[in-house]
Structures are given as C-alpha cells and as structure tokens.
Amino acid sequence: MDFKQEKIEKIGSMIMEGARSNLYVAMRYLDLAIFALSPQSDENIEIMGTDGDRIFYSSPLLIEEYKKNSRQLNRTYLHSVFHCLFRHLFNSVKYTEKDQTYWDIACDIAVEYIIDDLNISVINPIVSRYRTYIYKRLSVELDMDTLTAEGIYKTLKTWDFSDSDFKIMYKAFKTDDHGYWQRPQGGKNPPPMPGNNNDDDNDNEGDDPTPPDGIANAKKSEDKWKDLSERTASSAEHINREAGDGEGNLLVHLKAVNRRRYDYKEFLRRFAVYGEEVKPDPDSFDPGFYAYGLSLYGNMPIIEPLEFREVKKVSDFVIVIDTSASCSGEAVKGFLSQTFGILNLRNSFFNRVKIHVIQCDNKVRQDNVIENSEQLEKMFNDMELVGFGGTDFRPAFEYVEEIKGSLKNLKGLIYFTDGEGIFPEKPPSYDVAFVFLKEHYYDAEVPSWAVKLILDNEELTKNEYNRS
C-alpha cells in the first residue's frame, strides 16, 4: 500500500469512528449495537454495508460523501445497524432470488420509516413528498405502528409497478449495500478478516467458496443480534419512559421483532396434567421374570405388572373462538384442525376428557362440548360460526367461571382472535393464551398474566387433524 492509499484508508477509518461516536452520544441506548460491528475497509462496497459481524466501508466514497454531508454517513451507519437489530440480513435467505429485490427495498423502507421518525440532530433528515406518499399508501393496507419488512414486502408484491416506478422507489430508499446479506443463492462472500489471509494456500485460487462453517457462523451472528435487539429494546423502553417521546416507532418495532415466539406444539403441553391411567407400566417390572413365570406356572406370572401408571396428558380445557366480523370460517377451522392435530385425541388425552369449544363475539353464542373423537368429527362437519358482533373477551371468561364446577381438571383456555377486544381485569386461576392471526395482527396489549401467540395462514395448514 503506497503512502497516498494509506492516508486515504486512515481518513476513512477516522470518519467511521466519528460516525460511531456521533451516534453513541445521541443514542446511548444503542451503544451495544453501534459498537457490535467491527469497521473494515472494502473497496468493493457501495459506501457502507454489513454482514452482521463487520461493517464494511469504501474509504474513497466515504471521503467524497463526507465532504458533501457528514450527517448522511451517520444515517447510513445507523441504517445498517437497524438492519441487524431487525435481523433483515438473516431473514433474507427465506426469499427466492427472484424476490430478493422486493425484500431489499422492503427492508430499506422499514428502516428508513423508523429513522425518519427519530428526532436527533446528528443524522441527515430526509423529508420528501415521495417518501410521505409511500408511507401514506402503505398505511392504507398496513398498521403503521407495526410496520415491518415482512408486511411491506407482501404489500409491495400486490402493487402494480412499472419498471420506472420501481426504480424511483429503489433510489428513494436505498441507503447501504446488501451485498453480504445471506442469500438462498449464496451471494458474495465477505473479505477475510485482516491478518487472517493465508497466502500459502492457493489450492482453490480463483474460486470463492462458501466457508464450511458459514452456516454455523451465520447462526451465531443471528443469535448475537437477537440478544442485542432484546437488550436494546429494554434500554430504549427505559429512555422512552424518562423522556416521554423520541423513540416511539423504534421501540414498537423492537418489541414486535423480539416478541417471544412460542412453538405451538410446545405451548400446548402446558395444558397437560399428570394423572393415572389403567395401563401396564413397562418400566415397573422385568419382562424376563414375567415371561418366566408364565412358562413355569401357566397363567401365573412371578411379578404382576402395575395396572396404573402416571402419565401427562390433556384432561379438560377450553377453546374460545372470536366470532366477531373479521374472523373467517376457514381460519377458524384451520386453527382447530391444527390444534387437535397436534394434540391427537388418541395419544394426548385421557379416556375421560371434556373440551369446550366456545363461540363468542360480545357475548357467548355457542358451546360445543367434546368428550370423544366422534363428537369432534361431528363438530368439524357441522360447525357454523355465529355472532359477528363486536369483540369483548370478558363474557367468555365469565361463562367459564359459571361452568367451572363441571371441569374438574381445567388447566387452561386458548382464545383465538384477530381483533381488538376488552380484556378481563383480573387473571383467572388457569393458564390463558390469546392466539392472533398474523395477517390481521396489531400490537395488542395482552395482559401480563396471559401468553400472546401469533400464527400465520401457513402455520394453520400444518399438523392438521387427520379425520380420515
């Protein structure tokens, strides 16, 4: 490296350090995220970009941009950090090569929307009629309080774009380089860390293979940012409480992306209780001695197997279906089909079981009691939704209290809904989960004593109850 190039690299490094320091002073709650990316010079990058571990920059382009507007570089750095906090670069692998452009622009819009909402002086404000138009157009189809890259992506796919329209949008929101994001087609590999070059190994000269530990490293990086995102959300919430404003949309989005995602199958196990069944316990006796006794004495085994064994299965629980105007019959049947498919009546329930499937909008409309597989089959075949009024969750809980005497082992209640409703003020004596449809989901303030689950339409088709 000659003296001139060395000087350019040194200036580029100083500019990056300045951007990090400016953001740190303005947004202390982002300190861990800001310094989690190691700056590294890369002549092939378009100003700036990240792979989740490093933030790459082009020194000549940095210097050029710095002369024009130094605050734009602060904004670009923050833009890349937000991509990591929302794990955009890791989720990119879910989308086909054909859809990558839509995913990229959706991520940029989601991040820029949040940055445009921040009131800090160290970033370059971008206020344009075009951006305002895009935000307003998206708000027609999406709840802007929970605007996400996934939601924007799905919406953009429904818009009728001309090539020129798409280029205008791409130019309006593109900020950093996504070249080192995870891609299903592989993408380009980041340059090696400084000092890790192995000049003696030229066996694959000319190739650019994916490192054998690439998947493991990517998972490690994603886990790191999941942890950083949760910690940043906690810090932002504390700052927001003290200041009263300033980080509204950022906090909402961080809370949304870090909301605990339960595996529905694992969650349903919470409704199981221990009990005894009349069934031989294979772990309580030696089958060798048992068989020897039968062969020696005919019908008299030496050791009699225990007739009871303790197992954990579902006894009694309640499913409430929100039948307000926005809940469709197909979604309800998909939810019930998945739920009973996971539980599997034969293997997961005691011989004596009582399940209430309650329909409720602003009052309880119907209660189907399931005690065996025949009744379950009849419910699936004959079920019709009734109600379609407003949403009030309280009547269902009041009704369960009335019938609680007939539910000896009530473990929990699952409430399937896709709308806003009035929650009970006091927690019941059993576990409660509110299951929302992702397609119509908003950030409902579910009480702290209840679990919030979010399912999408694809999940409703998994593990369906086999009625054959």
Specify the 3-state DSSP secondary structure of 200: coil
pLDDT at 97 over 70: yes
Lowest mean pLDDT among 147-156, 228-237, 444-453: 444-453
Position 203 confidence tier, pLDDT thresholds 50, 70, 90: very low
Cα torsion 177, 181, 184, 185: sign: positive
* Contact between 412 and 430 (Cβ < 8 Å): yes
Distance CA 395, CA 402 (A): 11
pLDDT at 261 over 80: no
50, 89 Cβ separation under 8 angstroms = yes
Q: Is the pLDDT of residue 58 over 90?
A: yes
**Given pLDDT bands bounded at 50, 70 and 90, which one contains residue 17?**
very high
Residue 37, burial from CB neighbour count under 10 angstroms (0-12, 13-18, 19+): buried
Closest alpha carbon to 342 in 237, 178, 461:
461
CA–CA–CA angle 125, 130, 136 (5° rounding):
95
Q: Given this model, what pLDDT does residue 210 score?
A: 43
Q: How far apart are the first and last CA of the chain?
A: 72
pLDDT-derived band at 224, boundaries 50, 70, 90 = very high
User: What was the pLDDT predicted at 350?
Assistant: 42
pLDDT at 196 > cutoff 60: no
Where is pLDDT greater, at 134 or 375?
A: 134
- The rounded distance, in Å, linking the Cα atoms of 449 and 429 is 10
Q: Which tens digit of pLDDT belongs to each residue from 406-438?
A: 887 787 899 988 767 888 988 898 888 888 876
> Model confidence at 35, in pLDDT bands (50, 70, 90)?
very high
Dihedral angle of Cα 73, 75, 78, 83, to the nearest 10 degrees = -110
Q: Give me the phi and psi of 16, to 5 degrees please.
A: -65, -40
Q: Is 355 exposed, middle or buried (0-12, 13-18, 19+ CB in 10 A)?
A: buried
Residue 172 to residue 170: CA distance in whole angstroms: 6
Cα 25–28–33 angle (5° rounding)?
110
Q: Output the CA torsion sign for 108, 109, 110, 112.
A: positive
